[in-house]
Homo-oligomer: A and B are copies of this chain.
Amino acid sequence: MTEQDAKRGPDSAEPAPAPYGAAIDLLTVPFAGAPIFTRARALRPTGKVLPEHARSHNRALVLQTLYTAGAQSRADVARETGLTRVTISDLVADLIAEGLVIELGQREDARPGKPAILIDVDRAAFQIIGVDLSEHQRFLGAVIDLDGGIVSRAEVDRAGATGERAVDLVIELVRGMLASTTTPVLGIGVGSPGVVDPLGVVRSAPNLGWTDVALQARLANEFSLPVHVANDANVAVLAEHGASQLDDLLLVKIGHGVGAGLIIGGRPVIGGGFAAGEIGHVVVGTDGGPRCACGKHGCLEVWLAVPRLTARLDAIDPESPDAASARDDILHEAGRRLGIVLAPVVGALNLAEVVLSGPAELLDGALHEATVETLRNRTMAEHNRDLRLRMTAQAQDIVLRGAAVMVLSGQLGVA
């Protein structure tokens, strides 16, 4: 415990309730003569805003500016944020005192005026624990630095563990990684399959035999660190969002199952029942299809889940002269089915970007092409001309890095 104490992030003494209670996440700016649209329309105000909330926001803004733009002077930050140099100096002093920001010495390049002192987020000050529970056979973990770089990896064989035993495995995995950290830990981020509510309770994850497992509370209690838990696909899209900077984004994660993560207007979509993105069991098309484990016929998963796809591909006789085209046909059909399901979503949300995550050898070819073609044929070209469908650049680590983004965002307001 004392060892963990030393590794704690700032302000994380206990996983206490939010200091501002039900305080607010938005400011409306009403009463202007002309319409105001920063992103959406003016919004219903949902709680009071005190000066200290503004301070919190501005501090996060400074951190965000440094985080994305890198080392620069206080004056640079002032210009970029619109706050004054005085205010920035004050905020930066706080951040330095907390160990989040460091001075790097004078700027080298020669220009008139007093030379600037460069400051930056101390990217070596904290590490983050990322956990990916979405694979079928094993749980993955990583120690991740503030830049999203993976410092070290760990994994445990799931060996079919479910229920309480699976929870113990997660705890064991995290404990091992905490022992290997070389700095204080900012927090723990977990991407879990299934439906996860905003408090980090896994409402339902059939593969793991979990029903109403309070994973966030369990881990927070065990390690006395900030913990964030969310659905694996919803976590994955955070990683992609950090990379793409686009504010509307759909990520389809194809693995043992098929799930999606959505960001709209820069905000993750959770869903009324916390089940946003669960498109694996939406029926595709009007021509039936193979029977799914859920009882329906023609669910997206029966066309697209990796086990189903590989089984179908393995059934091809590799000696056959048509083997290559048979393979393409199977992948083409899978891609078409994905396009059919995505078309209404892309149309309704007028999405600019759809990202695929999963085995590139399956997705990044005939399947990808068929999905694009189907989307183009089934939506209004005029509105969705700019739509891009691409493979993720994050490969296997997308959930781990997304988990880090979740912690960064939750603890520092940075991503």
Is A271 touching B350 in the complex (CB atoms < 8 A)?
yes
A30 touches B18 (CB 8 A): no
**Contact residues of A between 351 and 401, Cβ < 8 Å to B:** 351-353, 377-380, 382-386
Describe A's contact surface by its main secondary structure: loop
Is A378 a contact of B282 with CB atoms below 8 Å?
yes
Interface of A toward B, CB cutoff 8 Å:
10-20, 22-51, 53-54, 56-61, 64, 81-83, 195, 198-200, 204, 216, 220, 226-228, 230, 246-248, 250, 260, 262, 264-287, 294, 296, 340-345, 347-353, 377-380, 382-386, 406, 409-415
In the assembly, how many copies of this chain are there?
Answer: 2
9 inter-chain pairs at a CB distance below 8 angstroms, sorted by A residue, are A15-B34, A26-B57, A27-B53, A28-B60, A30-B413, A32-B226, A41-B267, A248-B271, A281-B347
Contacts of A347 in B (CB 8 A): 278-279, 281-282
- Which residues of chain B come closer than 8 Å to A83, judged between CB atoms? 48
Most B C-beta atoms less than 10 A away, residue of A34, A51, A216:
A34
Q: Which residues of B contact A13 (CB under 8 A)?
A: 33
Task: Tell me which residues across on chain B come within 8 A of A44, comparing CB atoms.
Answer: 64, 266, 409, 413-415
Contact of A352 among B37, B60, B273, B413 (CB under 8 A): B273
- Distance, CA A378 to CA B277, complexed state (A): 15
A285 to B345, CA, bound (A): 14
Residues of B within 8 A of A10 (CB): 31
Beyond A25-B43, A283-B377, 7 extra complex contacts between A and B, CB < 8 Å: A27-B57, A30-B59, A31-B412, A44-B409, A48-B81, A48-B82, A276-B350
Query: Which residues on the B side are within 8 Å of A227 (C-beta)?
Result: 35
A45 B61 Cβ-Cβ under 8 A: yes
Q: A227-B35, A275-B383 are in contact. Are A61 and B41 (CB under 8 A)?
A: no
B61 with A281: CB separation less than 8 A: no
Q: A28-B56, A340-B286, A350-B275 are in contact. Are A45 and B64 (CB under 8 A)?
A: yes
The reply to whether A25 and B23 form a contact with Cβ atoms under 8 Å apart is: no
Rounded to whole angstroms, the CA-CA distance of A344 and B32 in the bound complex is 39
Contact A47 B31, CB 8 Å, known A276-B348, A276-B349: no
A45 to B408, CA, bound (A): 13
Q: Which residues of B contact A199 (CB under 8 A)?
A: 35, 37
Q: Are B262 and A348 in contact (CB under 8 A)?
A: yes
Query: Which residues from chain B contact A24 at a C-beta distance below 8 Å?
Result: 27, 29, 38, 57
Please provide the 5 A-B residue pairs with the shortest distance between their CB atoms, ordered closest to farther: A271-B350, A30-B413, A272-B352, A285-B286, A37-B198
Taking a contact as CB atoms closer than 8 A, the residue among B11, B22, B248, B296 that contacts A33 in the complex is: B11
